[in-house]
Structure 1
């Protein structure tokens, strides 16, 4: 080999090595990036929630319309907030909602704009209450599907007050109307606007003032079941022009923390008391439709003697059935968030052994492990979700026992659940949700002959014998024991769902009513848990939950003990793991970080 040839070979070899090294470094960097949370420059670190959860899915989840219609967008843009600034000046972040720079509406994550250009309605979607930021050492971490730290009651109360202020005097309304209609608006246009605003205020003011408890739900909590019941039975089924039955609206005094959404579609039951069956897309639609009726979907059912339900549930119904299906598809993609910091592997391995024990010394797996649940017309079985009475706050069961006048729905219903002049609010909701879905998807089942319409038994028989098994399963989507336990009952009937604990580290505060700030506190007897604590975004990586001191938007939560287990704020119950040694508790918590 001559000198030039040798030099050329050495040159090729050297650069080949360099190229391989660069390629290797690139591959290592790619692997690191895949394992590192996605950081948005300058502000937010997106925690790893699985390969199926992409940025395009996240953005769709934040804005997917489901049919909620809170208020015309032009109206809220024209309102003044409590400080005299435009109501939307800060994008509602003062209530804990999260800014959404991907939209040009000025609305935060989970708030939607839908409808014809110039007549858009502001609505809400599940992302408003199920997207969370936590703060550690000055960095913000985003948890999609996590329980929000927001104040829904404060938002609605201020919205109510802002509309009242716009209506208070002729000059105030004229200024409000000019912002919406323009300086050249006619008196007829202003009168029409005034009439529409009066109707909105009459309905919503009635709902808010009768529903909201004086003490307030506080950050990160909402009495969702009461608000769904109150919204539907109080505003939508009256015989008057505004649909109001004011006496149906009762104080919403059983606040619960927002549940996390990852794996929601996989569990056996949903809702804290487990009254909604789960496991296929139809049952998911039932769950989500009930939710959207609670967050201001338009709903005005009318009697119809020729319907098998004796009602038409689709008149004036704004529920976006396609949008609800898309939202459920997005929820299925949200993976449990992975702990984004380091942890002690040896301690976690010891903690796993404690978690997997089937004795009093551990035993978490019996209630919270992944186990096969029911098969409900799906190729994939659910995850078992045991419903257990573990001595926690019972207040929500008082809500489930409430009754109401049925208004225009008297005499309507589904087989074996016909509504009389009064019924449980639960049964009114079940009838409305099931009837809406059945009429939307199977209209050919909806009409009876004149002779059949005369007989409820004929209608029931027709429906039960003509539906497919999957359609028939819809009739049992909501189930509740015939007798809801009364407060003070000691029969063990105050049962709440025990969920699989994947991502539990990101779901503080704990228990269904958010009465325990950290996992470390949950492993203490109720008598030793904090009587009061601060709720906010600052996070404690050691105790796993809310930091003891909070900055920014925060509030103090006052709890009660086991002497007031029906208060809605009791920290009592779920005294499992309380006898573990301090080291065992640390090991168990370390393992829970890895789920």
Structure 2
């Protein structure tokens, strides 16, 4: 006899089954506690006293330095090393390739410290967690039985300043890295390994000698061609007419493009290609027959890196039946699918990030509930997580339910290399990171590393704090700065940092990043006609939609998918349950309304609040040059100067419109980095994305604050304010 639904319900929640469920939950909690305890113990195994740092001789721009010192930031040696060497699922190229690859113009290894230092990453010596001596933030990632070289958080968020041969390493500080230059150099080196007979022979031999993932020369050659094509594709899609140089990256623009590449459907690509025209706007670039030949055997649903590379190769092919497009026409096609990442910003510093209510330069990401996991997932999408997104037949899954795909004829399966568990652990790890304290003889610290730094720098007159100036500067800070940049206790465990948002029309700084985040659009693929909940209500994702909607849907799908397909499925399920519980119950940041002077979202403009920039506490700001969100001002002192406008007196002092970036040599007077007299990257504040305008508080161009005009700072007052900022 069949059972009724009511009977099944009562059976499910019988006392016996409830007892079983309680026992399972207790067992689950016990197993997770043991796993976490083992993880914490393992985390402390690498305790190299130098934290892997090493001295550099014959450094870039003539900057030699001794083994870097560390300041008191709340982390021990093993805390730093675990942060440097914990994978998040990034996979740039096969690991064996990175180890065996030579530089394009030399026979030296690509991974040589000289090249790493050239692009301003930080060389390291071998340690327990890093036996191959990879640079800070480079790590071996294992995925589906293969090893890859990838980036960790530390690659972009570990800084260093030098002074007369002595270096200070800044955990969580902004990197000075030139990622675009590094990836361009990587593409050149891989292309030479593919096309130069001698280099190719050595490369294949050296990869096979590693005895790791490759056993036959044919496999190496096949993958070398495949991965060279992928790196070329990435660089081509993300080419920008705005040069980033050192210390900046348009991370959001690149994340947006990577999502679009993996979401767009074959139908949408076909529509784009059929509609593409020449410069006259009337003549089609290709015929329907040519388009269909280009798309022959291309997936109906998800396309991704390799198939996109194949499409590009076919579009440019001069073989019979293909369009044979040149570079000018290819650029037209590219702009129909992707957006130019032309809004580079400084790498943000990470101390206090776990205690912040909203993060990203324009406050795009809430830090409440699942916010940190979604934010970090989006970051790994941008730094080469392997996105094995495929289409499967209609069925039920949490990811399809949350992304609105339940009623679709097919649904995206968000399998990937992204390590959600490690992302959660890294976010928790950052809770104990504190901002760096200016090294001065007067701090009275008990931290031995800070004492060492204090003894060296505190003895130098130019590093000593003038406390008479500090007292005057504190009053000026309260008058001119504190309404936006609150003063916090850097060690207060219960601190919450409230982002103070300023409308871009009010703050006046370069608009590119904020406007791109809202205005960039792309093809939504299988997310078309799904619903997305925003603060103003539910929005329908259109065929061509704001990329912020598409990114939100993609990261939601990733987070709702059981992590790490390499693990046994019960372990994946346990990890996922742990992540969900941790996000909701261990995250002390609760959902809240944004603070500040910004335009609120409306039903007509649901992302209007993102046309703002965030002001945050300035503790540790001395170690984060260059300044403003786009790195357009070389020092704190220069930031207190106005931008010269037509009609301003010639004899006045103004922000520099040109300066050199790339040196780590610190200026302890103005608080910045060396900005002239060496052959680094020449920054010019002359185009959108590079403008150094705005944030002119305390200058002759100061906007009213709360309706009241501000008196310009005198030169002596500027120096008092700089002196106080050193102490934050």
Q: Secondary structure at the match of 1:440?
A: coil
CA distance in 1, matches of 2:211, 2:365: 52
Match of 1:203 in 2: 230
550, 561, 564: which is aligned to 1:428?
550
Alpha-carbon deviations, 1:436-493, whole Å to 9, x = none? 213338xxxxxxxxxxxxxxxxxxxxxxxxx99959x9999999956999xxxxx997
Matches within 5 A, 1:422-461: 422-440=544-562
Partner of 1:107: 134
Is structure 2 residue 704 aligned with structure 1 residue 587? Answer: no
Residue 693 of structure 2 is matched in structure 1 by 572
Question: 1:271 and 1:225, CA in 2 relative to 1: closer, same or farther beyond 3 A?
Answer: same
Return the match for 1:271 from 360, 371, 384.
Answer: 360
Aligned: 1:404 with 2:522? yes
Tell me the residue number matched to 2:374. Answer: 286
TM-score, with structure 2 as normaliser? 0.64
- Quick one: which of 216, 222, 226 aligns to 2:253? 226
Alpha-carbon distance change, 177 to 406 in structure 1, aligned in 2, over 3 angstroms = farther
Separation in 2, partners of 1:554, 1:484 = 45
Choose 402-411 or 476-485, whichever is displaced more: 476-485
Pairing partner for 1:88 from 111, 123, 127: 111
* 429 and 296 in structure 1: CA distance in 2 versus 1, 3 angstrom threshold: same
Output the CA distance in 1 between the equivalents of 2:345 and 2:54: 31
1:275 touches 1:478 (CA, 8 Å); kept in 2?
Answer: no
Superposed CA offset, 1:181-219 (max 9, x none): 35999x994444333333333333122113122452100
* 3-state DSSP of counterpart to 2:168: strand
Alignment map for 1:507-526 (pairs within 5 Å): 507-526=624-643
8 Å CA contact 2:242–2:342 kept in 1: the answer is: no
- Does the CA contact (< 8 Å) of 2:162 and 2:665 recur in 1? yes
**Cα drift, residue 162 of structure 1:** 1.7
Aligned to 1:556, the other structure's residue is in SS state strand
Deviation per residue, 1:57-104 (Å, 9 max, x gap): 011111111111111111122222133222112262221100121322
Q: Aligned to 2:177, what secondary structure does the other structure show?
A: coil
CA contact (8 A) 1:347 1:590 kept: yes
Kept in 2, the 8 Å contact 1:61–1:127? The answer is yes
Does the C-alpha gap of structure 1 residues 176 and 138 become closer, same or farther in structure 2, counting only changes over 3 Å?
Answer: closer
Aligned to 1:328: 427
Looking at structure 1, the residues matched to 426 and 229 of structure 2 have their Cα atoms a distance apart, in angstroms, of 31
Shift of 1:380: 5.2
Equivalent residues, number: 511
Indicate how the Cα distance of structure 1 residues 468 and 394 shifts in structure 2: closer, same or farther if over 3 A, else same: same
Secondary structure of the 1:115 match is: strand
Partner of 1:10: none
1:163 maps onto 2:190 in alignment = yes
CA-atom RMSD, angstroms?
3.8
In the TM superposition, 1:6-155 aligns within 5 A as 43-50=66-73, 52-84=74-106, 85-90=108-113, 92-101=116-125, 102=127, 103-115=130-142, 119-155=146-182
Task: Check the 8 A contact 1:71/1:123 in 2, yes or no.
Answer: yes
TM-score where L is the length of structure 1: 0.77
Per-residue CA deviations over 1:29-80 (Å, capped at 9, x if unaligned) read xxxxxxxxx9989824434233x31111011111111111111111122222
The alignment status of 1:531 with 2:657, answered yes or no, reads yes
Q: 1:94 to 1:381 in 2, by over 3 A?
A: closer
Q: CA deviation at 1:404?
A: 1.1
Counterpart CA distance in 2 for 1:476 and 1:417 is 20
Match of 2:451 in 1: none
Aligned twin of 1:388: 502
Q: Shift in Å at residue 118 of structure 1?
A: 8.9
Shift of 1:314: 5.5
Could you tell me how far apart the structure 1 residues matched to 2:304 and 2:143 are?
Answer: 25
Residues 74 and 119 in structure 1, CA contact (< 8 A), matched pair in contact too: no
Aligned to 1:34: none
Q: Is the 8 A contact 2:633 2:656 kept in 1?
A: yes
The match for 1:547 is 674
1:490-505 counterparts in 2 under 5 A?
Answer: 494-505=611-622
CA distance in 1, matches of 2:253, 2:211: 44
Question: How many angstroms apart in 1 are the aligned matches of 2:467 and 2:228?
Answer: 57
Counterpart CA distance in 2 for 1:174 and 1:201 is 16
Tell me if structure 2 keeps the 8 A contact 1:130–1:148: yes
- Answering whether residue 357 of structure 2 is matched by residue 243 of structure 1, we say no
The alpha-carbon distance between structure 1 residues 435 and 227, as it changes in their structure 2 partners (threshold 3 A), is same
Whether the aligned pair in 1 keeps the contact of 2:500 and 2:615 (CA below 8 Å) is yes
Going from structure 1 to structure 2, the CA distance change for 1:492 and 1:587 (only over 3 Å counts) comes to: farther
Aligned residues of 2:415 and 2:561 also touching (Cα < 8 A): no
- Of 341-350 and 505-514, deviating more is 341-350
CA 1:78–1:469 in 2, change beyond 3 Å: closer, same or farther? closer
SS at match of 2:617: coil
Question: How far has the Cα of 1:420 moved from its partner?
Answer: 3.5
Match of 1:9 in 2: none
Residues 436 and 117 of structure 1: CA distance in aligned 2, closer, same or farther (over 3 Å):
closer
Q: 1:349 to 1:272 in 2, by over 3 A?
A: same
Aligned to 1:460: none
Q: Which of residues 368, 376, 399 in structure 1 aligns to 2:485?
A: 368
Cα distance change of structure 1 residues 169 and 118 upon mapping to structure 2, 3 Å threshold = farther
Distance 1:248 1:117 in 2: 31
Displacement after TM superposition at 1:331 (Å): 1.8
Maintained 8 Å contact 1:279/1:381: no
CA apart distance, 1:515: 0.4
Aligned to 2:330: none
Partner SS, residue 190 of structure 2: helix
- Residue 162 of structure 2 aligns to a residue whose secondary structure is strand
CA distance in 2, matches of 1:220, 1:231: 21
